[in-house]
Structure 1
């Protein structure tokens, strides 16, 4: 029997001050069936917070709850309808996003509104799912919103759901932070951020970002990660004209069991967001994702990839026009790309959740999921730049840094699962993890 989930694509901010209108866009069906013929997905609307930023005493794994400590005088409006069919009004949608505002304010407001949207979506998936032995209460679990202030400057809130009907653990976090960046810290950032000027003095910095890690309960629902961020080094004489700035981010999928249709769908949605802005983005960012999320000591990838980029500026080589007569990309162009790429998260992931969340599983499948989560932990603690530097930073917020880790994981000495040569589903996944594919 086929499973169909109707999905709606989130549209761009197009609303006037003090008034919000909801606009539905095209509906498409997401279908899968056990029949041999391939089914198609319809449209819908990670783990690196930058290590350099976390090394400075903050992390972009945090969330947001508005406080008086941050002055954000405009909020981007997302005209949208949630994928489960209920309308959403962004809490912070007060007025139209104004290009005259500094990018720091526009990006902070974007990730704050998007965080609320995604939290509401995940909570609705929980409330629309039946109670089970893991969460027997008739009241669906809600996210804990853990608001925090950074002593050195800034704020955030870590939105975490644990013990859910569908999601064993989910973190949806935003940070808005600022502080001082000494020359030594700037030099440490240069290898990964060549757009930085040569450091000669302590300078102010600002960073904001959205980070998501979701670990579902069902072994057939993949883990997913997202991170989008904006960083700038300020000019003390002119705060509205930063000395250096860049965007970074991406999203990737980590299944325990391979469903090729899921993989193709997830990649297709991200590719559409990339191609809308530059057809060079997808192949470059997909390759970077495969490279970054590689567990060297295991000789395998953490998952089946997605997109990953860092130090994205108007002067980045990939943003230079292939033909001299074409115009250069502006900062506004890159912001629009980041908004489209981050908005692709729900259409890329939610249909996969609905497709598999009620599927039966065995104890052996749960065991394999725990083993794969062990690999996830290994990558985050050994290789992830944000986690490594964050844990070595005095005063770092450890709870938020380790938000990305699953509640449960497993390690077995010389486990035969996935490597016994019998072409099991577990072994099929292993083949893909050792040899990344082009899914679209």
Structure 2
């Protein structure tokens, strides 16, 4: 294993180490460092469980590194995946990009994409699930013209509402956004609230965070620095919450509620998530890595509804009506 990363990079060392490497190579190096630091941060909670490291290659071009931990003391399932893929876009993907306003002149587009995606499902119902994804994408038309952009975000899915944890999480994200414009956090927080929606149930997947796509302004280089700031905020936003809550006692009804909420997580990821759909329909898709986001255990009960006034219902009301988690003085 490369001591700097969880595995040998997908792109050759020779190409990654050239003088003045292109932004796609710098992004690959950065996300591999984020992968290693986050895996090590999670493993620090686990006395025996370690990440399985699975480096894979894609016949159509590129590959990835999937790191998965299962049945730990604190984490029931945690995945931290890197992908570095290239090839030809399916027409469905081109149509989706056009629907977002991309000016694409051909249906035959080559692409390069690299990103990191992680989902952590803890055992204790008082520890939230976290998801983050940061990615770089470029398309090349037959004339050789290149369009490139970044996307991603970080969001939190608790099972029981702890307002202090929500404020801490959102404040870390806001501080990561602040150097790049006073409006960044508010804009991307609203985008997150409106994206992670389980439409058929009228509720959000969690208490939000930040989410954005098609980021290339004011410059691609500035957007890369923004991505780095957000990704570097993941550990300080989440690890203190795990430390605070991992040893809290819980009972069978609380565990049952956690499994029901995980069922909602599955519904969103399989029915609505654009990244999951893009991955599943990309030629040569690696389904094990794409479906890494799904929990080890989940549950569905017919017409389940929490009792009015219960802690479970308190969470549900917030999921139906997103809140501003930061106090006025913290938003200045």
Could you give the per-residue CA deviations for residues 180-211 of structure 1, whole angstroms, max 9, x where no partner exists? 2366743342112x2x3332363321110000
Instruction: State the SS of the aligned residue for 2:45.
Output: helix
The number of residue pairs the alignment matches comes to: 323
Correspondence 1:66 to 2:8: yes
Taking the TM superposition and a 5 Å limit, the aligned residue runs for 1:210-359 are 210-234=116-140, 243-314=146-217, 329-359=218-248
Query: Bigger relative contact order, structure 1 or 2, given CA contacts below 8 A and separation 6+?
Result: 1
Correspondence 1:372 to 2:275: no
- Aligned partner (choices 103, 127, 136) of residue 197 of structure 1: 103
CA–CA separation in structure 1 for the residues paired with 2:46 and 2:190: 34
- Aligned partner (choices 290, 312, 315) of residue 429 of structure 1: 315
Q: What's 1:181 paired with?
A: 89
Structure 2: give runs of 5+ residues left out of the alignment. 327-332
Correspondence 1:153 to 2:61: yes
Q: What's 1:207 paired with?
A: 113
CA contact (8 A) 2:52 2:67 kept: yes
Larger-Rg structure: 1
Could you give the per-residue CA deviations for residues 105-137 of structure 1, whole angstroms, max 9, x where no partner exists? 00011001110111111111213xxxxxxxxxx
CA contact (8 A) 1:374 1:409 kept: yes
- RMSD over aligned Cα atoms: 2.2
Deviation at 1:393, TM superposition (A): 4.6
Q: 1:237 to 1:121 in 2, by over 3 A?
A: same
CA–CA separation in structure 1 for the residues paired with 2:121 and 2:40: 17
Correspondence 1:403 to 2:292: yes
CA–CA separation in structure 2 for the residues paired with 1:64 and 1:177: 18
Instruction: State the SS of the aligned residue for 1:126.
Output: coil
Instruction: State the SS of the aligned residue for 2:65.
Output: strand
- Aligned partner (choices 67, 71, 84) of residue 163 of structure 1: 71
Deviation at 1:243, TM superposition (A): 1.6
Deviation at 1:383, TM superposition (A): 1.0
Instruction: State the SS of the aligned residue for 1:226.
Output: strand
Q: 1:205 to 1:399 in 2, by over 3 A?
A: same
CA contact (8 A) 1:186 1:199 kept: no
Deviation at 1:387, TM superposition (A): 2.0
Could you give the per-residue CA deviations for residues 82-122 of structure 1, whole angstroms, max 9, x where no partner exists? xxxxxxxxxxxxx8x97x32011000110011101111111
Q: 1:389 to 1:335 in 2, by over 3 A?
A: closer
Provide the TM-score with structure 2 as the length reference.
0.91
CA contact (8 A) 1:74 1:106 kept: no
